[in-house]
Each structure stands twice: as structure tokens, then as C-alpha cells.
Amino acid sequence: MSIIKLLSKKLERTIFTTPTHNQKAIFSQNYDCFYKDDFSEIEGYDNLSNPKTHILMAQGKASDIMNTKNTYFVTQGATVAILAAMKALINPADKVLVARNCHKSIFSGLVITAGCVDWFMPETDKSWGIYTKINPKKLESTLQLNKYKAFIMTSPTYEGVNSNIKKIAEICKKYDTYLIVDEAHGSLYNFSDILPQTAINQGADVSINSLHKTAGALNQTALLNINKNIRNTDSNIFQKALNLFHTTSPSYPLLANIEACLTYLNSKKGYDEIQNLLLEIDKFKNELKRYGVEFFEDEFHDPTKLFLKKDGLSGFDLSEFMYKDFKIEDELNNSIGCMYLCGIGTTKQKLEKLKVALKKIQTNPSFEPIYTEFQPFPLVKIQPVDTFNRDYIFINKQDSLLKISNKMIIPYPPGIGLLYPGEAIQKWHLDYLDKDVEVII
Ligand SMILES: Cc1ncc(COP(=O)(O)O)c(C=O)c1O
């Protein structure tokens, strides 16, 4: 089917995925603007690569709102904001410590910057099958052993787990290591006193937000935030890095959408919408807990990520039945549970629909959960920068043990790498590999 035909069909399902805006314009934007306001950088409209007037003002306002030294608008997703942050702070051969539950864009950043990676394993929760927090003590022991230019981590995780950034930022500062926090999933934090604090307000040097995930903005809108107290950086280095990756034809409708989104979130209306959403989520959870639904919760958990399991069903089964029987689609599922994502645009009616379905869903009393093993510590044989254009051959999976992979294994979502090019294939990986495996020679 053509894309045009596909989009002309009504979406006959309820989606709890990104973006959360419910396919409705929440702030002053609609589809017409894509044609009406679709300019290149014509006279009088400023220029994203060297902003001097309107864009500079809008970004300045954003930086006041976000409490940053600079907040840059990005129209190519958190991915480009991450690449720019890495390019600005990491030089070839710099050692970089990266939490293994990072998004795949960080591997791209390692290829582009030629930084040398050491992986850092976050804590895990086996009963939910997810990565959780960064352990500050373990981080400090790692930073004592080696000098790292930067530590890159994700907080919140896809499932809403937040690390103690304040503590982590203190440790990174002590060892003169930049802290880059991928806060793609935490774009609402600056606008609520119930949600966790932003990474920037807790001391991260740089943070990245995807406004399109939960903040009601359009796909590809993102922010790159720089801390007021960042050490030893050229004040123009982030703009310079962004200019390496940003299109020279940024979309004005997307730039306006970013501005409108931040203005809305920073208003009483935006604040109230988040408060009401959190209230509705609280009621939703309290009611469903009486129907055999268990929610993932911990200290600093972001409640807008409804990661839940139902007694008597695996996450895979729950996801399938919810889709088949109720036409409700989750953002993510694993062998234990499903994650239903909420944010700006998630209505009470939508939550009600989810609640009714979760109450009704049939379960199997003899079901036993299967707890999957987490990936082993990665064995990096070739640094990311040297893996990009290598000669490779295909070999039989049975013969691939300890050979060096030329491919990534990245289930999406969440886009966390199980194996990257340059890493040795371990026994654990075999289940995820095709019959013929691409290895570097
Ligand atoms: C943690 C995390 N970081 C970054 C990204 C990339 O975001 P974007 O799609 O805005 O480029 C994603 C996307 O799923 C993500 O989950």
C-alpha cells in the first residue's frame, strides 16, 4: 500500500506509544502550516545554524525556561542532539564510559567522534526484565580506575526508571568527567513538581529531550540543553557541532512547534494538564491493583510510563491479546510486562479504555513467568570507529562463537544494543542471531 493510501485510512486502534499527542494539535499548530510556513531561510526569518533574531530569541526564552546556559532547538530528533553533544565534548581517542542501556544513537556517536568506549552495566530488575539505575558507588570505582572524558547515560529509561543524577553529577565532577544525560523520555520533568527533577537541575553538564515522545510536540522535535556551569568548553562548540549534523533546510513548522510546546508546558494550562494526568494515572493504578494488575514502581519512578503486568499472562501474551481483543497498542513489551506510554494528549477517556480492557482480559491460572537472562558484559575487540567499513564474511551461527560481529542486534523499541559491530559473539547472543552470521575478517 502506498504511504499516501496508508495515511488516508482511519487509525482503528488506541495507541499508547510515542508521540502521545493523540494525533491532535494541542498547541497552535495544524497540518496546514507544513505548506503555509514551509520556507527555507529567506530574508527576515533568521537561520538555525547561526541564529541572530527570531530563532535566537526563541532559544533564549527556552533556555530561561529550562534553566540552562543554552537550549538549542533540534528538528531531527534526540538522535542529532546526542550526536552533536558527543561531537562537542569528545575528541578522537578520548576514553568514554557509556551505560549499556543507552540508545543506539550513542554507538553512532562513538563511530563519528572516534571516542574509545568502555561499557558500564546498569543495575537490573530480573522480576521485570529491565535495566534500572546507575549505581553511583560502582560508577565512582570505575572512574577511579581510568580517566574518562565523558560518561553517557539514559535517565529516565524507557520504563521510567530515574537514576540519582545529583549524586552521579557530583562524582563525575570530582573526576573531571562530563556527564551527558539522555533524557529523551523525561521532557515533562521541568514542568511538574511531582515528576523527578531535570538532569540539568541536578547537575548534568548536558541533557537531551525528545519533545515528540511525551510532551505533545510533533515527531523529530528535540532539545539540546547545556548546563550554566559547564566547565572548559568553547561557548560556540555546541552550535558548531549541531551545524555538522543539522539539515540546512530546517522545518519552520517544527521550530514553531518546539516554541509552542515549551510555551504551553510553561503555562498554567500546561502545568494543570500534567497535574491532572498524574492524578488520573494515580486513580487508574489504584483501581487496577485490585484486578491483579501490578505496576513497576520504585523511588523516583516516572508514573507516566505505565509498565505493568497482569497475573497469569506474559508481557508478550498481554500485548497480543490487548491488540487482538481491544485494539490497544503498547509502546513496548517483554516477557514480563507491557508499557503503556502517557503524556501530553493522553485523555481520561483513553485511560478509561485501557482500564476496562485490562480488567476484562482473560488470563491463564497455570501460567508461569519466564525470567530472561540479561546480556553478558560486552567484549569489545574493535572500537566502534574502526568497525564502520570492514571486510566481512558470512559464517554458520554454530561457528560464530567469539568471532567479531559486523552487525548490530537491536530490538526496537527500546533500541538498546544487545551486540554491536566490533564485539565478540558470546553464547548468550546465539539465540538472537540469524542462521548465517556476518563477522569481521
Ligand atoms: C533513550 C532514547 N534516546 C534517544 C532516542 C532517539 O530519539 P529520536 O527518535 O528523537 O531521535 C530514543 C528513541 O527511541 C530513545 O529511546
User: Per the domain annotation, does 230 fall within a domain?
Assistant: yes
- The pLDDT score that the predictor gives to residue 29 is 62
**Region 262-285 average pLDDT:** 97
Cα distance between residue 228 and residue 226, in whole Å: 7
User: Per the domain annotation, does 402 fall within a domain?
Assistant: yes
Assess whether the C-beta atom of 184 lies below 6 angstroms from ligand 1: yes
Grid cell in block for residue 121: 552495566
Same domain, 185 and 316: no
Which residue owns the Cα nearest ligand 1 atom 7? 78
User: Per the domain annotation, does 153 fall within a domain?
Assistant: yes
User: Per the domain annotation, does 5 fall within a domain?
Assistant: no
User: Per the domain annotation, does 142 fall within a domain?
Assistant: yes
Cα distance between residue 434 and residue 426, in whole Å: 14
The beta-carbon contacts of 426-431 under 8 Å, at least 24 apart in sequence, are: 426/376, 426/379, 426/401, 426/402, 427/401, 428/373, 428/375, 428/376, 429/375, 429/405, 430/397, 430/400, 430/401
- The pLDDT score that the predictor gives to residue 248 is 94
Q: Is residue 386's pLDDT more than 80? A: yes
User: Per the domain annotation, does 4 fall within a domain?
Assistant: no
Q: Is residue 152's pLDDT more than 70? A: yes
User: Per the domain annotation, does 351 fall within a domain?
Assistant: yes
Same domain, 237 and 336: no
Give me the CATH number covering residue 275: 3.90.1150.150
- The pLDDT score that the predictor gives to residue 31 is 67
Give me the CATH number covering residue 64: 3.40.640.10
Assess whether the C-beta atom of 77 lies below 6 angstroms from ligand 1: yes
Assess whether the C-beta atom of 101 lies below 6 angstroms from ligand 1: no
> Where would I find the H helices in 301-375?
315-326, 348-360
User: Per the domain annotation, does 374 fall within a domain?
Assistant: no
- The pLDDT score that the predictor gives to residue 82 is 98
Which residue owns the Cα nearest ligand 1 atom 15? 103
Higher pLDDT, 57 or 23: 57
- The pLDDT score that the predictor gives to residue 140 is 98
Ranges assigned E (strand) in 271-410: 293-295, 305-310, 328-329, 332-333, 338-341, 392-396
Same domain, 96 and 185: yes
What pTM did the predictor assign?
0.97
How much distance in Å is there from the Cα of 365 to the middle of ligand 1?
Answer: 37
Assess whether the C-beta atom of 222 lies below 6 angstroms from ligand 1: yes
How much distance in Å is there from the Cα of 210 to the middle of ligand 1?
Answer: 7
> Which residue range(s) make up the domain with 332?
271-360
Residue at which a domain ends, from 310, 327, 360: 360
Assess whether the C-beta atom of 183 lies below 6 angstroms from ligand 1: no
Assess whether the C-beta atom of 415 lies below 6 angstroms from ligand 1: yes
Cα distance between residue 235 and residue 60, in whole Å: 14
Same domain, 322 and 400: no
- The pLDDT score that the predictor gives to residue 30 is 65
How much distance in Å is there from the Cα of 310 to the middle of ligand 1?
Answer: 28
Assess whether the C-beta atom of 161 lies below 6 angstroms from ligand 1: no
Which residue owns the Cα nearest ligand 1 atom 12? 103
pLDDT tens digits along 99-128: 999 999 999 999 999 999 999 999 999 999
How much distance in Å is there from the Cα of 314 to the middle of ligand 1?
Answer: 26
For residues 178 and 201, the answer to whether their CB atoms sit within 8 Å is no
Same domain, 124 and 236: yes
Same domain, 48 and 102: yes
Substitution site in 72, 79, 83 for ligand 1 pocket (most atoms within 8 Å of beta carbon): 79
Residue at which a domain ends, from 241, 265, 289: 265
Grid cell in block for residue 436: 548465517
Assess whether the C-beta atom of 333 lies below 6 angstroms from ligand 1: no
Assess whether the C-beta atom of 210 lies below 6 angstroms from ligand 1: yes
How much of the chain exceeds pLDDT 70, in percent?
99
Same domain, 137 and 239: yes
Same domain, 278 and 261: no
pLDDT tens digits along 171-215: 999 999 999 999 999 999 999 999 999 999 999 999 999 999 999
Same domain, 112 and 202: yes
Ligand 1: atom nearest CA of 414 is 16
**The CA-based dihedral angle spanning residues 17, 21, 22, 25, taken in that order and rounded to the nearest 10 degrees:** -160
- The pLDDT score that the predictor gives to residue 406 is 97
Same domain, 156 and 300: no
- The pLDDT score that the predictor gives to residue 107 is 98
Cα distance between residue 114 and residue 206, in whole Å: 20
Q: Report the number of distinct structural domains present in the chain.
A: 3
Same domain, 136 and 56: yes
Residue at which a domain ends, from 265, 280, 297: 265
* Residue in the structure block whose three cell numbers are 581517542: 93
Give me the CATH number covering residue 410: 3.90.105.10
Same domain, 126 and 259: yes
pLDDT tens digits along 431-441: 999 999 999 99
